[in-house]
């Protein structure tokens, strides 16, 4: 049905609130990169209008730190633009601070807690190999 796949991979040892927070932030990056993934507004039987949602499913996976580092490297090697959230961003309070702390780390030193990408299905599967469905 879809040629592309949207995947979010979370570090498995995050607290519940962190998993939800990171998923929300990373998904917003996918939408910013590919606005076409958003459909039409929803309307209920009473005529109330609700925000549009993604037109395609989003797969949520989990992985340990090393697997996340590998997935991050694969996405860079393949030139797939991703959304990335690092551990140090939990200690900031706004977007400018997030970008400032993010800029302090290179791929080899970043403590990745989540990554999201949208690309061809087969490429997405190759990049995220080693991650498993989030439970």
Residue 71 to residue 92: CA distance in whole angstroms = 25
Report the domain count for the chain. Answer: 1
Q: Please say whether the beta carbons of 75 and 82 come within 8 A.
A: yes
Cα 34–31–17 angle (5° rounding)?
A: 150
Residue 128 to residue 134: CA distance in whole angstroms = 13
pLDDT tens digit string along 77-124? 999 999 999 999 999 989 999 999 999 999 999 999 999 999 999 999
Q: What is the mean pLDDT of residues 124-135?
A: 96
CA distances from 98 to 91, 93, 119, 131 (A): 9, 8, 25, 26
Q: What is the pLDDT of residue 1?
A: 81
Of the candidates 108, 54, 105, 13, the residue with the CA atom closest to the CA atom of residue 22: 13
Q: What is the DSSP letter of 73?
A: H
Q: What is the pLDDT of residue 4?
A: 96
The pTM assigned to this predicted structure is: 0.94
Confidence of residue 135 (pLDDT cuts 50, 70, 90): confident
Q: Specify the CATH number for the domain of residue 126.
A: 3.40.1490.10
Confidence of residue 24 (pLDDT cuts 50, 70, 90): very high
- The residue range of the domain holding 71 is 4-133
């Amino acid at each position: 049905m879809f040629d592309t796949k949207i995947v979010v991979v979370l570090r498995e040892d995050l607290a519940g609130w962190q998993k939800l927070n990171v998923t929300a932030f990373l998904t917003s990056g996918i939408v910013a990169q590919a606005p076409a993934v958003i459909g039409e507004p929803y309307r209920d039987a009473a005529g109330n209008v609700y925000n549009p949602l993604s037109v395609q499913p989003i797969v949520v996976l989990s992985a340990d730190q090393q697997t996340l580092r590998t997935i991050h490297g694969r996405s860079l090697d393949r030139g797939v633009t991703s959304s990335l959230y690092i551990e140090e961003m939990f200690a900031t309070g706004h977007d400018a601070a997030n970008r400032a702390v993010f800029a302090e780390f290179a791929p080899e030193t970043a403590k990745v807690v989540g990554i999201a990408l949208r690309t061809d299905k087969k490429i997405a599967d190759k990049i995220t190999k080693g991650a498993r469905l989030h439970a």
